[in-house]
């Protein structure tokens, strides 16, 4: 992918310019296949495991040391779309009976493959850095393609409505798409906006109760979040443990307010990349018990919490 520059605006009608620079990127895609043995009760399946490896071959530019420099030539948000002729893909989320071990043996790094397209054919697979169900679809409540067609529609719709007339005029002037989105949001009725607030839809595929999102966070064979434990500073931390928060990421303003607060551990989770996350509820949060009941936790890495001291326990 060659280096390049895109420029928007600065043409008389729009007095400002938006400049997007792209650094040269060289990548390699390696695809291989191998036959897979299946369990005796799954005989008749001619099973093949496909491996796709995407490699960035660009060396870091001389003098580049910041994260922003690396992002200029990084393969950010890479999606892989695979199609097969004369065959079909098997679901890794809900594999057929007898093929569970073959599905579990697949390793997916920074991606999550799901079936897309025609459910009757199952011949297209999307692998992206987003956790989805098989055959994902846009929610029918979304009036059109506003943003990303998911739960954030309501948040960004309400945010647009808080803009001043001057801010809306500036946004409309950037490009036709921005103008269309703002006009469409302003035309939504109260009923249409209300439908964006959230609706529960049944999941058509048969996913066992113990294989839902919790399984994605804690792979098969590992302890459940409620029974898992980790050791921090020689102290075993598990559900019910009292800890003090010491956020180090500062990725969100809320981390500033949580620093030094006492909290109760509600579970130990592991994500699809193998990282550990400690789910907590802050002690002095008036709605803490309600958050715990609905599973709305704050998540911190083990390096961001410390066991509560005896003096802290007395205060609790």
Where residue 32 falls among pLDDT bands split at 50, 70, 90? very high
pLDDT value, residue 155: 79
Residue 22 token pair? 């792209």
Domain final residue pick, 204, 224, 245: 204
Are 26 and 108 found together in one domain? yes
Are 110 and 198 found together in one domain? no
Are 252 and 303 found together in one domain? yes
> What does pTM read for this prediction?
0.54
Residues 170-189 have a mean pLDDT of 85
Burial 95-114 (b: 16+ CB within 10 A, else e): beeebbebeeeeeeeebbbb
pLDDT value, residue 159: 85
Residues 238-262 have a mean pLDDT of 82
Q: Between 238 and 71, where is the model more confident?
A: 238
Q: Are 265 and 241 in contact (CB under 8 A)?
A: yes
Give the whole-angstrom CA distance, residue 31 versus residue 279: 38
Residues 188-196 have a mean pLDDT of 82
Are 87 and 164 found together in one domain? no
Are 233 and 173 found together in one domain? no
- Neighbour tally for 164: CB within 10 Å: 8
Place of tokens 């999550």: 112
93: nearest Cα among 186, 208, 259: 208
Digit-coded pLDDT (tens) for 285-304 = 888 888 888 888 999 988 88
Beta-sheet strands, E only, within 40-92? 48-56, 80-83
Q: Where are the alpha helices (DSSP H) in 108-220?
A: 152-161, 165-172, 176-187, 190-195, 213-217
Are 260 and 187 found together in one domain? no
Q: Is 129 a residue whose pLDDT tops 60?
A: yes
Residue 262 token pair? 């006492």
Domain final residue pick, 204, 238, 261: 204
Q: Is 98 a residue whose pLDDT tops 90?
A: no
Q: Are 35 and 47 in contact (CB under 8 A)?
A: yes
How far, CA to CA in Å, does 79 sit from each of 48, 54, 121, 138, 180?
21, 10, 21, 18, 27
pLDDT value, residue 88: 92
Q: What is the CATH number of the domain that holds 266?
A: 2.30.30
Instruction: Give the pairing type, strands 235-238 and 229-232.
Output: antiparallel
pLDDT value, residue 156: 80
Q: Of 28-32, 129-133, 180-184, 198-202, which range is least confident?
A: 198-202
The domain of 162 spans 137-204
Where residue 69 falls among pLDDT bands split at 50, 70, 90? confident
Give the whole-angstrom CA distance, residue 292 versus residue 36: 43
Are 8 and 122 found together in one domain? yes
Residue 136 dihedral angles phi and psi, to the nearest 5°: -65, 150
Give the whole-angstrom CA distance, residue 296 versus residue 67: 31
Are 49 and 105 found together in one domain? yes
Are 31 and 116 found together in one domain? yes
Are 86 and 163 found together in one domain? no
Domain count, the chain: 3
Q: Between 25 and 71, where is the model more confident?
A: 25
Are 152 and 240 found together in one domain? no
Where residue 210 falls among pLDDT bands split at 50, 70, 90? very low
- Neighbour tally for 242: CB within 10 Å: 18
Where residue 142 falls among pLDDT bands split at 50, 70, 90? confident
Are 95 and 184 found together in one domain? no
Q: Is 94 a residue whose pLDDT tops 60?
A: yes
pLDDT value, residue 217: 44
Domain final residue pick, 204, 236, 258: 204
- Neighbour tally for 198: CB within 10 Å: 9
């Amino acid at each position: 992918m060659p280096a390049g520059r895109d420029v928007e605006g600065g043409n008389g009608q729009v007095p400002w310019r938006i400049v997007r620079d792209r650094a040269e990127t060289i990548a390699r895609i390696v695809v291989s296949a191998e036959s897979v043995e299946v369990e005796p009760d799954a005989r008749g399946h001619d099973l093949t495991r496909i491996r796709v490896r995407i490699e960035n071959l660009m060396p870091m530019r001389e003098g580049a040391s910041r994260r922003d420099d690396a992002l200029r030539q990084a393969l950010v948000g890479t999606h892989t779309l695979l199609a097969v002729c004369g065959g079909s893909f098997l679901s890794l989320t809900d594999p057929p009976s007898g093929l569970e071990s073959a599905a579990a043996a697949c390793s997916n790094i920074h991606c999550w493959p799901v079936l897309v397209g025609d459910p009757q054919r199952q011949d297209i697979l999307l692998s992206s850095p987003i956790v989805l169900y098989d055959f994902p679809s846009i929610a029918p409540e979304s009036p059109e393609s506003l943003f990303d067609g998911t739960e954030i529609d309501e948040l960004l719709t309400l945010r647009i409505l808080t803009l001043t007339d001057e801010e809306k005029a500036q946004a409309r002037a950037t490009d036709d798409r921005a103008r269309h989105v703002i006009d469409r949001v302003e035309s939504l009725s109260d009923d249409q906006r209300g439908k964006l607030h959230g609706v529960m839809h049944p999941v058509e595929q048969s996913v066992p109760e113990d294989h839902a999102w919790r399984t994605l966070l804690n792979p098969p064979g590992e302890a459940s979040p409620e029974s898992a434990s980790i050791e921090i500073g020689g102290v075993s931390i598990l559900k019910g443990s009292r800890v003090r928060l010491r956020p180090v990421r500062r990725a969100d303003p809320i981390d500033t307010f949580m620093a030094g607060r006492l909290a109760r551990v509600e579970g130990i989770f592991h994500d699809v990349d193998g990282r550990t996350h400690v789910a907590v509820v802050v002690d002095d949060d008036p709605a803490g018990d309600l958050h715990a009941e609905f599973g709305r936790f704050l998540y911190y890495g083990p390096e961001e919490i410390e066991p509560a001291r005896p003096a802290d326990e007395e205060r609790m």
